Amino acid sequence: MRKNNMENKQNTQEKTQEQRADEREEIKETGTLQLENGKERHRIQLLTIIGEIEGHESVSGNTKATKYEHLLPRLAEAEDSDDVEGILILLNTLGGDVEAGLAIAEMIASLSKPTVSLVLGGSHSIGGPLAVSADYSFIVPSGTMIVHPVRTNGMFIGVYQSYRNMEKTQDRITEFIADHSRISQKRLEELMLDPTQLVKDVGTMLEGEDAVREGLIDEVGGISQAMKKLHEMIDARRKQQEEHAKDTESLSAES
């Protein structure tokens, strides 16, 4: 009996070590982690959006980047999985590719699972739509968000059509942010075109309280507040599902 207990204990330890190794590899490759060992026993998917948002072209090898081809499949998997009840998104990004950033933001906004975002450090440029795409957003007191007009690099053809194309792209960004936060599109454009704040550009840098005051972010808070809010949202969704199931059973019984 003692030998069997020792073998079971050893097998458990080996499984735990293998699980931790897999988790470390998952964090390294995709910046994601499954959280389900807390006292609330909610199954939460952790996603990180860090560094530059990489688009169709790879960033330099020395630049930390978030790859949209990693996040989009992970988000689709979370939506379709019964093992995921909510998603926590941690952001510390300087922005990057507009198309890739909007694609990730639209994916997050369309999820049926509860989502909470937390801005740590900064969520600049296209990081704005990513921060507001969740159901509820937080920013730490020292966190910052920079909003500025759409910019481009490389060859630029100086014709009216080029300007209109950039204007349309900017409208897509401002409309998305306005639709998923409390800031108006007009006020957002005013902040984007402010010439008095940034040294080499027009735009505005909003710190934690400022971002909340402008309506861009819902609340100032850290990881504990973000986790608490997500647990509350998951509980509310569970209750709603239970009530719906009861109503369905009642209708079935009556018929």
CA-to-CA dists, residue 254 to 113, 194, 241, angstroms: 31, 63, 20
- In this prediction, residue 128 carries a pLDDT of 95
Clarify whether 112 is annotated catalytic: no
pTM: 0.81
Give the pLDDT band (50/70/90) at residue 175.
very high
Of 108, 116, 113, 78, give the one whose Cα is nearest residue 241. 113
Average the pLDDT over each of 75-84, 159-168, 171-180, 181-190 and give the range with the smallest value.
159-168
Tens digit of pLDDT for each residue in 27-80?
555 556 566 655 557 889 999 999 989 887 777 777 788 888 889 999 999 999
Distance, in Å, from the CA atom of 159 to the CA atom of 148, rounded to the nearest integer, reads 22
Please report the pLDDT score of residue 221 as a whole number: 97
Task: State the catalytic residue, choosing from 148, 180, 181, 231.
Answer: 148
- 148 as an active site residue: the answer is yes
Annotated active-site residue in 125, 133, 137, 181 = 125
CA atoms within 13 A on the CB side of 140: 14
Asked if the model's pLDDT at residue 212 lies above 80, the reply is yes
Q: What's the pLDDT tens digit per position in 191-211?
A: 999 999 888 889 999 999 999
pLDDT value at residue 37: 56
Alpha helices in the chain (DSSP H): 2-30, 68-80, 98-109, 127-132, 160-179, 185-192, 208-213, 223-254
